[in-house]
Amino acid sequence: MSFALAIRIFFFVLLVLSAVVGRRVIRWVQAFGKDDASRRRLKWLSIGTWVFLNLATVYFIVMGLRTRGSIQQTWHMIFLYPWFAWLVTSVALAAILTAKGIIALPYRIAQWWKRKQTGEQKADGDRREFLAKAATALPAVMLLTSGYGIVRAQSDFDWFEPELKLKDWPKELEGLRIMQISDPHVGNFMPGEKFAGLIEQINQRPCDMLVLTGDIINNNMAWMPECMEAMHKLKLPKYGAYVCIGNHDYFAGGPEEILHGMRDLGMTVVRDDHVVVPIGKSKIIVAGIDYPMWSGGHGLRGNRLDPHVDAALAGRDPEAPTIMLAHHPHAFDRAAEHGVQLTLAGHTHGGQFAFSYPGGKTVSLGDLMFKYVAGEYQKNGSYLYVNRGIGNWFPMRLGAPPEVTRITVG
């Protein structure tokens, strides 16, 4: 099955799901009608709203992921962003209604059996009408929350400035500032003009070294000229800028072209290899890995990252302080085995949806997929920092803000 066909099938399934959930929501909205005429008007108004919210789904079924051009901003504001809000709402409602149905099934069976034995009637219409009206609060709250998530994803990034005490780090290199940018996803949700504005903000904070940890282009190489124009504004620090590649750079269809562009900007590409960076009387090794793709997707199975980490570190001076760049954070396990002091990764977007609770703990959707989701981790004296990304492939974030990181090591 081709990727294009799989995408169309996926969106068709979303359309069916949206129709099932939409039918339930329409019934809830109808309950606000005072008479048959007003209920009919509410029904057709709800159906029209549902059709509008699903125009993007129909577009994707017919056209696939072709959403680039001069109409981009209008397309997003009028159709795509409301669709994303409804998509999240409908998926969440489907999960809630399914769970409710499963939990309530024994009770409903018991009630059915009781009515059969006693001849008792179902709950009266007034009660059902009240419950339907109350139920409309659920999709309303979800739509508002999703809308906020869209606004948050499109807003400026947050600065994170951790200070890390690294094992066996030379005294001469204490205080080194490393700027990490990850996952810009230049494309529909990060056009070149917006990226250029963010880069101007990044330029305002000095650093000694800069790293870019993959997913430079989202899914279409047509965005490459805009990306290059924006990145020409990036000020490169005195100890250089270093790049590794991500899965979306492969999805875009031009990983070699992307890396060639980064070299033209004066950045150093580390792809299953490493470079030695002299700093005064000391030196740092900056290593980086490729992203292990497989035909039909980007799934990582078992230890598929390990050979790339091994290749990147082959022949290095084991006594030299080392920084590993890896788009996928699971490379950290192997890097830690090699004694790498610091691994910098991205990819997870902080789980996109994250929720903090008392005690400083955070749970996110990323916990279902990744061992390391966001922020600092430590293992056997080695550190990992997972950047939440400055851009988006899915334009919605809750509790996982866009991020640029300036790490001070010592």
User: What pLDDT is recorded for position 120?
Assistant: 66
How many angstroms separate the CA atoms of 264 and 266, rounded?
Answer: 5
How many angstroms separate the CA atoms of 207 and 177, rounded?
Answer: 5
pLDDT in tens, the chain (410 residues): 665 677 778 888 888 888 888 888 888 888 788 888 888 898 999 999 888 888 877 877 776 655 554 345 556 667 777 888 888 888 888 888 788 778 878 877 887 777 777 766 655 555 555 555 566 677 777 777 877 777 777 778 899 999 999 998 999 999 999 999 999 999 888 989 999 999 999 999 999 999 999 999 998 898 999 999 999 999 999 999 999 999 999 988 889 999 999 999 999 999 999 999 999 889 999 999 999 875 434 445 557 899 999 999 999 998 999 999 999 999 999 999 999 999 999 999 999 888 877 766 788 888 888 999 999 999 999 999 999 999 988 888 888 999 999 999 98
Structure tokens, 235? 């000020």
Domains identified in the chain and CATH numbers? 3-152 (no CATH), 155-409 (3.60.21.10)
Environment class of residue 150 by beta-carbon count within 10 Å: exposed (0-12), middle (13-18) or buried (19+)? buried
Angle, CA 154 vertex, CA 215 and CA 325 arms, to 5°: 25
Q: Give the up-direction half-sphere exposure of residue 184: CA atoms within 13 A in the CB hemisphere.
A: 31
User: What pLDDT is recorded for position 278?
Assistant: 95
Q: Are strands 403-409 and 158-160 parallel, antiparallel or unpaired?
A: parallel
Q: Which of 282, 219, 198, 275 is nearest to 243 (CA)?
A: 275
Three-state DSSP state, 176: strand
Three-state DSSP state, 7: helix
Structure tokens, 362? 């955070």
What is the Cα Rg of the chain in Å? 25
Q: Which of 327, 344, 357, 358 is nearest to 409 (CA)?
A: 344
**Cα–Cα distance list, 313 to 21, 25, 233, 259, 289 (Å):** 51, 56, 32, 20, 9
User: What pLDDT is recorded for position 124?
Assistant: 54
Q: Which of 334, 338, 344 is nearest to 178 (CA)?
A: 344
Judge contact between 54 and 15, C-beta under 8 A: yes
Judge contact between 185 and 218, C-beta under 8 A: yes
Give the residue carrying structure tokens 């230049």.
Answer: 186
What's the whole-model pTM score? 0.81
Structure tokens, 306? 């390990």
How many angstroms separate the CA atoms of 121 and 104, rounded?
Answer: 19
Q: Give the up-direction half-sphere exposure of residue 32: CA atoms within 13 A in the CB hemisphere.
A: 14
